[in-house]
Chains A and B, each alone.
Chain A
Amino acid sequence: MTTPSHPTPPETAHNRPEMTVSELSASLKRTVEDAFGQVRVRGEISQPKVAGSGHCYLRLKDDRAVLDGVIWRGVMGRLSLRPEEGMEVIAEGRLSTYPGRSSYQIVIESLELAGEGALLKLLEERKRKLAAEGLFAAERKKPLPFLPRVIGLVTSPTGAVIRDILHRLADRFPVRVLLIPVRVQGEGAAGEVAAAVAAFNRLAPGPADGPRPPRPDLLIVARGGGSLEDLWAFNEEEVVRAVAASAIPVISAVGHETDTTLIDYAADRRAPTPTGAAEYAVPVRLELRAQVGDLGGRLDAGLARRLDAWAGEVRGLGRGIPPLGRLVEEAAQRLDDRAERLAQAMAGVLEGRRARLAERAARLPTPTAQISARETALGVAGQGLARAWATAARERATALAHLGGRLAAEPIKRQAERGEGRLGELEARLDGAAGRRLAALDERLAQVAARLEGASYKRVLERGYVAVTDAEGACVTAAGALGAGQAVRLAFHDGSVGAVVEGGSPPTAKPKPKPAAKAKPPTQGSLL
């Protein structure tokens, strides 16, 4: 560290000058910025974060130290790679301090991947990620058109690549080519390639020979060979996504046959070289011409042969037709033949019928013979009937005698004896049951009597109540029923005494003749 260049405070109690914090921080900032105005530092990116302002804050670290870093928004746009967690990079920039936080940081001006190994690792990870999204799936691949009318070319406008492609197209099948020139290497290349692919897709379809650039039927994205870094733009996600999203089939031709970039996986066809891309893109015109010529010749020959064949067939069939006169003669002869056979046939039929009639008549029997035959049959049947009658009568008699033998009084007697025994038993059981039932009823009666006793008014009298009866012994239940001087009997639980009513009120409107007696019963009633 250098010594501060500030003027020292006038009063110096110590040898050392005294500074404010701001002064020291500012001095430190200058010192750091002077000493580390341009550094190259290698480390692993950790926690990259793009703030709302567009600036990117991150940390660079190795196994022992950590360095804060910032990439201003303007620089971010120019970087050839996006900072990602874990990326091994070489950052270039200057160191500066942030006095407000007593911290220092590197202000990054450019960023590159550290070494081929790191690049390949990044490539592998990115490939896995994009493959997992299905961007490279075989079923996404579109077939190339057989003969595109318009080809869209995305490549550098200068150099061998475009010349090779156009020469090969001209040799094979010249078509209309639309070129969107792009940078194919370095900062901004990836964005330009992706934008060009998207731009071709946005063009409206139109006639191939119209004045406005029509939408191409096929795209070729091409670049010559180079190092992994040189080809890096074609590994960038935005390029891969643009190609995968293209509705127009895409042929990729990036680098040499041995170089494979991620765009090759997303493209519908990968060509080993730019020349190869032109060969995939169009067929050979001369071959097609020959093919059309051949087909034309076969068309002519085919029709001619067909016509010849038909003519031959007609001639051949014509030879097979017989002369008309012969046809008539044959028919007349057949007619004569049939007429003759008809006449003969008629006679034959009549003769046959006559013979069959005679035969039937001979076989017819006389009525007398028939009657005698029936008589004989009747006699035989009559004899059979008499025999059958006698046999049936004998059989019935035998059966009757058998049944009589089986009829006897003994079983019935046994049945009656069994019945008597059972009757005695039932009688005994009936007596027992009746006795038990009577005893049970007695007991229940005693229980009810006891409960009745318990409910008697005398029980109430035992608790201090008095029953009042008049001269006739009727129970007095209301004060209004008594007059002054009337004799009553008061019944206690252990006996009764005579009494005379002292005062009396008219039976009506007598709110408190016996206030105590009146007031009590409700509360006591509820207690009971």
Chain B
Amino acid sequence: MSKSPAPPPAEPAPTDPESLSFEDALAELETIVRRLEGGEVRLDQAVGAYERGVALKRACERKLAEARLRVERISVGEDGAARVESAGDGPDGAA
């Protein structure tokens, strides 16, 4: 991916990978890989960085695997409350 947002700090605060957005998780994973490949990591950090990378990769994969098209037709009342009128699983479910 050519698009890479600002990389996370060199010593990332251990945010739960699952709570990150896909985009942020991917960007952090990319940073870790680059640092490992570039030899910028000390031995005592390398294993931690690797484990973090594996967790990020799993989170990304899960987010990709979970994706499912779900279409809901909603109506919004005067008070702004939304109500699902009908739901479908695919492009043809909404028609």
Contacts and interface: CB of A to CB of B under 8 A. Distances in A.
Interface of A: 145-147, 157-158, 162-163, 166-167, 169-170, 173-181, 195-196, 199, 202-203, 212-213, 285, 287-289, 291-292, 295-296, 298-299, 302-303, 305-307, 309-310
Contacts of A310: 43
B69 A170 contact: yes
Interface string B53-91: 110010011011001111111111000101110000011
Interface of B: 1, 3, 21-23, 26, 29-30, 32-33, 36-37, 39, 41, 43, 46-47, 50, 53-54, 57, 60-61, 63-64, 67-76, 80, 82-84, 90-92, 94-95
Contacts of B54: 296, 299
A298 B69 contact: no
A78 B3 CA distance: 48
B10 to A, nearest CB: 16
Give 4 closest A-B pairs by Cβ, nearest first: A302-B36, A174-B69, A166-B91, A199-B76
B53 A299 contact: yes
B72 A158 contact: no
B72 A285 contact: no
A220 to B, nearest CB: 13
Contacts of A166: 69, 71, 90-91, 94
B72 A199 contact: no
Nearest to A177: B71
B14 to A, nearest CB: 17
Contacts of B94: 157, 162, 166, 177, 179
B76 A202 contact: yes
B70 A292 contact: no
Contacts of A202: 76, 80
A147 B94 CA distance: 22
Contact of B26 (A162, A163, A288): A288
B72 A213 contact: yes
Contacts of B82: 178, 199, 203, 212-213
Contact of A299 (B36, B67, B90): B36
Contacts of B69: 166, 169-170, 174-177
A163 B61 contact: no
Contacts of A145: 23
A157 B71 CA distance: 11
B70 A303 contact: no
A345 to B, nearest CB: 50
30 contacts: A146-B21, A146-B23, A147-B23, A147-B63, A157-B95, A162-B95, A163-B92, A166-B71, A166-B90, A166-B94, A167-B91, A169-B91, A175-B67, A176-B69, A179-B74, A180-B75, A181-B73, A199-B76, A199-B80, A213-B74, A285-B64, A289-B61, A292-B57, A295-B30, A295-B53, A299-B29, A299-B33, A299-B54, A303-B36, A306-B36
A222 B56 CA distance: 36
